[in-house]
């Protein structure tokens, strides 16, 4: 399969300190399922920010969908980001919108008609167990409910790449398994999935998934997930 993500000698530095990420070189296949793990402070969230183009690297090359996002004009980034679904650790729901309208956002941005939006959103809210909370605003939702709204919003448009930062950290084990089943089903439809997690139990539920471990700003590959990292051009 073609690679949907390529990092070539990527480094990330905040301010004048040392590098948070150093010499990351990896390739992720389109349609793959990956877990990203590592100790707190290893740089997982920073790596995810590079993947959904919220942060540019200090050095190196990053390609998403075959496009060099380091040199890409800023005006072209929103269209690229619409191909990516993101589950943020802090949810980032729009506070003045209901759960329904938060989930509907990606579909409305894509220009889907109102009837199709309503049908899709109601189906998704039912899947994450929030049918009776559709009209609720984020401030009235529990942390677990907000997490489920954030996940529903990230997956509803069937993105080509789904990036999730600790997506099951605020839900009970039963709901965690149900959400993982949702990610698994989306992956079966062709979406590349990358989940950052500390939950070893969760990782054991997707036998075909590959695990990347990030430590001291570098990624290791205990089970061959990276295959053959791209060669840096001279």
Question: Within this chain, do residues 100 and 201 fall inside the same structural domain, yes or no?
Answer: no
Asked if the structure places residue 90 within a domain, the reply is no
Question: Within this chain, do residues 152 and 163 fall inside the same structural domain, yes or no?
Answer: no
pTM above 0.95, yes or no: no
pLDDT confidence bin for 221, thresholds 50/70/90: low
pLDDT tens for each residue of 54-66? 999 999 999 999 9
Domain boundary among the residues 136, 156, 176 is at: 156
Question: Within this chain, do residues 102 and 188 fall inside the same structural domain, yes or no?
Answer: no
Question: Within this chain, do residues 4 and 79 fall inside the same structural domain, yes or no?
Answer: yes
For the chain, what is the mean pLDDT? 89
With contact defined as beta carbons under 8 Å apart, do 192 and 5 qualify? yes
Q: Domain containing 141: what range?
A: 95-156
Question: Within this chain, do residues 125 and 218 fall inside the same structural domain, yes or no?
Answer: no
Question: Within this chain, do residues 107 and 222 fall inside the same structural domain, yes or no?
Answer: no
Cα(30)–Cα(51) distance, integer angstroms: 14
Domain boundary among the residues 113, 141, 156 is at: 156
Question: Within this chain, do residues 31 and 64 fall inside the same structural domain, yes or no?
Answer: yes
Asked if the structure places residue 88 within a domain, the reply is no
Nearest residue to 162 via CA among 141, 138, 189: 189
Query: How many structural domains comprise the chain?
Result: 2
- The CATH number covering residue 74 comes to 3.40.50.300
Asked if the structure places residue 41 within a domain, the reply is yes
pLDDT of 111 > 60? The answer is: yes
Domain boundary among the residues 117, 139, 156 is at: 156
Question: Within this chain, do residues 171 and 230 fall inside the same structural domain, yes or no?
Answer: yes
pLDDT of 78 > 60? The answer is: yes
């Amino acid at each position: 399969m073609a690679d949907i993500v390529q990092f070539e000698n990527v480094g990330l530095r905040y301010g004048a300190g040392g590098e948070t990420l150093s010499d990351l070189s990896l390739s992720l296949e389109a349609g793959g399922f990956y877990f990203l793990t590592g100790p707190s402070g290893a740089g997982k969230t920073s790596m995810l920010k590079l993947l959904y183009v919220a942060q540019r690297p200090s050095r190196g090359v990053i390609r998403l969908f075959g496009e060099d996002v380091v040199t890409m004009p800023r005006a072209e980034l929103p269209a690229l980001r619409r191909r990516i679904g993101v589950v943020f650790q802090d949810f980032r729901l729009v506070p003045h919108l209901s759960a329904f309208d938060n989930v509907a956002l990606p579909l409305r941005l894509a220009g889907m008609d109102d009837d199709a939006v309503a049908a899709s959103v109601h189906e998704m809210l039912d899947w994450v167990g929030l049918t009776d909370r559709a009209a609720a605003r984020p401030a009235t939702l529990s942390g677990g409910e907000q997490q489920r709204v954030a996940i529903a919003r990230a997956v509803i448009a069937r993105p080509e790449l789904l990036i999730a930062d600790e997506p099951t950290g605020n839900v009970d084990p039963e709901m965690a398994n149900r959400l993982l089943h949702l990610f698994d089903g989306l992956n079966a439809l062709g979406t590349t999935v990358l989940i950052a997690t500390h939950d070893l139990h969760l990782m054991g539920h997707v036998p075909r998934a590959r695990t990347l471990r990030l430590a001291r700003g570098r990624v290791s590959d205990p089970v061959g997930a990276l295959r053959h990292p791209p060669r840096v051009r001279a």
